[in-house]
Homo-oligomer: A and B are copies of this chain.
Amino acid sequence: LPTCGAREALSLALEKLFYPGDELIATSLEWPSYEAMADKNHLRLVRVDVPEDFSYPLQGIEDAITPRTKAIIINSPHNPTGRILSQEEMESLAEIAIQYKLLIISDEVYNGVNTDGFLRSIAGIAGMKERILYINSFSKIFAIPGWRMGYVCGPADLIRIMASEKADYNGNKDTLPQYAIKIALEGYRPQIAAFIDENNASYRKNTEYVCREFEKLGIGLVYPKGAFYVFFRIPPMVGMDSEEFADKLLEAGVAIAPGIVFGKEWNGYMRLCIALKQKEIRLIVKKIRENIKGSDRND
């Protein structure tokens, strides 16, 4: 089902495929809209703590399952940490989903972004066809977020419910971006591959540069394996929470998402988007360096 961004696919799923009080499991560090959408539809998003090293809390996920659990939401590559689920983790998740009769909602909007080729999807694991909602979008991989070209694949009966709701709510996804992408996919595969490679080379270079410079500054982070964010800990000597630090950086002309948008336990973190030109990245690192040093001098 083509949708207005992956966002609409998730909105439709959470609106129509569950009952109030149903539980969906994700980790404690996710794109904030998962929880907002769950709240809106009177669903409970169960947030499983992620460990210090941001590894995937597989055991915690299984432990969080209750009779009310209906789905597990996964996001790999992960916003904001760039974590990637391993094949073993996906196989374990598939086993859990089958054992407990759960739906897996796999948000793969960063699949292929800043990674070495496209990652295998959990959708390909045996037994998953019946219990997956595969959600993706061309926004990140084609760098066309404004086109709102998302889609969702899954069992026909579930897609039919979502398609019917979409038809009632706002009709079909409009045709212009669909035709443009169809033409691109049918006739311009090498150009698309070159475009993605070029973007990924730039993302990788920026990721490496930022991580190296942050390490020099003693900023804690886990090296992202995909997506285009660096999620880092605010050095204690800054003495600010994430909103204060974001405001201070904004005054210096740098916009970075404060960790608190991901939940109050992330108030000591920031999410830097590295999908920028190299000289912009250098400027940002410079401003962050100055603001850390500036904080130091104020002590």
Contacts and interface: CB of A to CB of B under 8 A. Distances in A.
A28 to B, nearest CB: 21
B147 A3 contact: no
A33 interface: yes
A218 interface: no
Majority secondary structure, A binding face: helix
Contacts of A37: 168
A101 interface: no
A37 B170 CA distance: 11
| Chain A: number of interface residues, binned into ranges | 20 to 34
Contact of A174 (B7, B40, B149): B149
A204 interface: no
Interface stretch (A175-183, A228-236, A266-274): A175-183
A11 B170 contact: yes
A87 interface: no
Contact of A176 (B40, B172, B180): B180
Nearest to A150: B170
Interface of A: 3-5, 7-8, 11, 33, 36-37, 40, 146-149, 168-177, 180
Q: How many identical subunits does the complex contain?
A: 2
B8 A168 contact: no
16 contacts: A3-B170, A4-B171, A7-B171, A8-B170, A8-B171, A36-B168, A146-B174, A146-B175, A147-B176, A148-B170, A148-B171, A148-B173, A148-B174, A149-B174, A174-B176, A176-B177
A40 B147 contact: no
Given A4-B4, A148-B173, 6 more contacts: A7-B170, A8-B169, A11-B170, A147-B174, A148-B172, A149-B174
A37 B168 CA distance: 8
A174 B4 contact: yes
A40 B168 contact: yes
A153 to B, nearest CB: 18
A168 B41 CA distance: 13
B168 A146 contact: no
A149 B148 CA distance: 14
Given A176-B177, A177-B174, A7 B169 contact: yes
Contacts of A170: 3-5, 7-8, 11, 148, 170
A7 B36 CA distance: 24
Nearest to A169: B11
A223 to B, nearest CB: 30
Closest 10 CB pairs of A and B: A8-B170, A4-B170, A146-B175, A148-B174, A176-B176, A5-B171, A11-B169, A147-B174, A7-B171, A7-B170
A8 B172 CA distance: 11
A175 B149 CA distance: 11
